[in-house]
Structure 1
């Protein structure tokens, strides 16, 4: 009988904020014998309360990522740090032969993304980008439906996301809602970070995930909040394959809703609520069909790749098209401030802070995905065609 595989020793860089999710996921996989948390990299060490169930077996902690990788002998690292730090941390890991799960977006600029992909390739390390929705078993199921002609000829892919974020969201970190800090690009806008999955998932379903799959990008970037970055935006990616990919998203929704992607065919449509792994197929001559699919965890997939050669679900080249979007947003004109009459302030409640709401945005976002249209094409009075940039 062969010995059980040795758990993959890893370091978590960034254990607060969204990093808490990764910490809990590592706990789950450690209990299954898949991984072992060897260290945590944070500027300020986690206390016993933050370590939770790891407090009884505390991992090494250090603010020096490279030194922590060296001292722990980690074979992999999960990087969940501010966007502008991703590239340098990835380079630090690659230089030591350490494999990566790198949170999205993989970099703040296309040049940094290229530096990162070159470094991991030359070092021969595995790198998984943290688009969790790519692990949904709904993705190959939808592709198979499309290949089988279930909805006829595909006309396009429309993503929609209407989320709610209060004032505290933009005060949670110095980089929140910023396009740049000093001379460093951050690009923390709605399209590139909080609702990045909507854009990336639509591109993945369109089988247009690589940089070469992008023929052009139109963006319309707006903000209701007093921030640098965009909080209410839309885009259209013209793909090399011809089918357009659009996204309409906001953090200033009237009511929070589940984000989704619609695959439009000339004989039906498929709607994918990617956070729920839920799929609805509507086609001519048949009743609606709904299914909920399973999901493969990206860290578990990385461990399986290293142990058994299982293909990675989100290798860096599959996010090249998304990084073209990040670059288009980064180099676009500054997001236009919405006129005062376009939004109002929702007062704070016992559980949430005050927040800005764009009037009619929920219907506008849904219409964008339904018709593959930009805000200006839908007649939004504050959206003008002159605010569209095409890199």
Structure 2
């Protein structure tokens, strides 16, 4: 995907671009380290940090100096002269913060998921476009060079006719994970949508990447969605779920996820062809190509950092990797999960607490997740008696 650089926004390539980071704790720590890496290369300069409670000197990585700090995002953008804002704050705050930046002509790297509902996503995307600023959505897996390489393999017919795309994520999270913030594990907080579930937040990359490889990224590429949402933990949202997306091209996309794995492993996406398959471990940028008449081929790829890509796009028109339009189909999945009935509570005999690890485990879930990705079937179709299917409208309006 690419977007034109708005008139008058091109950056000089010889000056480090000043930026503000909103949300510097939790996952924001990863952004701090990445900003330090790019600052060392002279690409960006951390001008400010927006947090409700200022970071201590010990929380700021060495080499980033003493950036200005404030809990007032708009005022901080004004006082620092930031040209880019990296937004890594609670999901319900994304749209308002993005529009605050856009109103000041500040370009954006917005963490995934971009919004908790399709309406909020649309408000953000339309507002950013009207303001003439550029927004990159933080699906880091879509910066992998493996993605265009797999698309090319599909186009060349390397594995024959494509039957569908599966995704599998078997992760583990301790019970304390859901106590990390007031919104953690919530579907709503104080009447505001949050939708912090397995498929929409920690394993959202599996959904977005599977859709990208299926060639279904725009809203109109989705014609139907079925969801099965459940939880073993004492939370509102889902921790063990699957979704089947029917695409306009007729290829199903099935993604299964759990945060209650027996043996956590790297998530992956698999493209099923009638003469082979392509498996992509997106956190490793590693691809396994298996096809008729050939031995298995393992391939490793590089990755383009999304913040660096945003700066390059603004400097010289390099194609933007993940504009909002590239996440419309993903946001349709978020909307389906938002409007689905509340997740099913797994019966007591379907899970147990793992001694010493403070986490709940669903016996057999690892195999169920893998089977869903392998067969493009939902949990209920694989014999999970606790699974409840919700079919969403075949016609998904835009």
TM > 0.5 between the two? yes
RMSD: 0.9
Q: How does 1:194-209 map to 2 (within 5 A)?
A: 194-209=202-217
CA–CA separation in structure 2 for the residues paired with 1:339 and 1:297: 42
Cα distance between partner residues in 2 of 1:381 and 1:122: 48
Structure 1 residue 54: deviation in Å? 4.2
Residue 8 (structure 1) aligns with: 17
- How many Å separate the matches in 2 of 1:243 and 1:7? 44
Distance (whole Å) between structure 2 residues aligned to residue 288 and residue 236 of structure 1: 28
Large movers: runs of 4+ above 4 Å: none
Gaps of at least 5 residues in structure 1 are none
Q: Does 1:354 align with 2:358?
A: yes
What SS does the aligned partner of 1:53 have?
coil
2:349 to 341, 356, 359: 341
Question: Which residue of the other structure, out of 45, 49, 64, is the alignment partner of 1:36?
Answer: 45
Is the 8 Å Cα contact of residues 169 and 267 (structure 2) preserved in structure 1? yes
Please give the residue correspondences for 1:233-382 in structure 2 after superposition, counting only pairs within 5 Å. 233-348=241-356, 353-382=357-386
**Normalising by the residue count of structure 1, what TM-score does the alignment of the two structures yield?**
0.97
The DSSP-based 3-state class of the residue aligned with 2:392 is: coil
In structure 2, runs of 5+ residues without a counterpart are 1-11, 394-398
Matching of residues 126-145 of structure 1 within 5 Å: 126-145=134-153
Aligned ranges for residues 63-212 of structure 1 at < 5 Å? 63-212=71-220
SS, match of residue 223 in structure 2: strand
Is residue 253–residue 358 contact of structure 1 (8 Å, CA) maintained in 2? Answer: yes
Q: 1:388 aligns with which of 378, 384, 390?
A: 390
Query: 1:220 touches 1:389 (CA, 8 Å); kept in 2?
Result: no
Whether contact under 8 Å (2:36, 2:61) holds in the other structure is no
Aligned residues: 382
Alignment check: 8 A CA contact 2:166 2:269 kept: yes
CA distance in 2 between partners of 1:61 and 1:21 (Å): 18
CA-to-partner distance for each residue in 1:246-272, whole Å, 9 max, x for gaps? 100000000110000000000000000
| Offset, 1:4 | 5.7
Query: What is the TM-score with the length of structure 2 in the denominator?
Result: 0.95
How many Å separate the matches in 1 of 2:101 and 2:110? 11
| 1:46 to 2:55 alignment | yes
1:8-27 matched pairs, under 5 angstroms: 8-27=17-36
Give how far 1:388 is off. 2.2
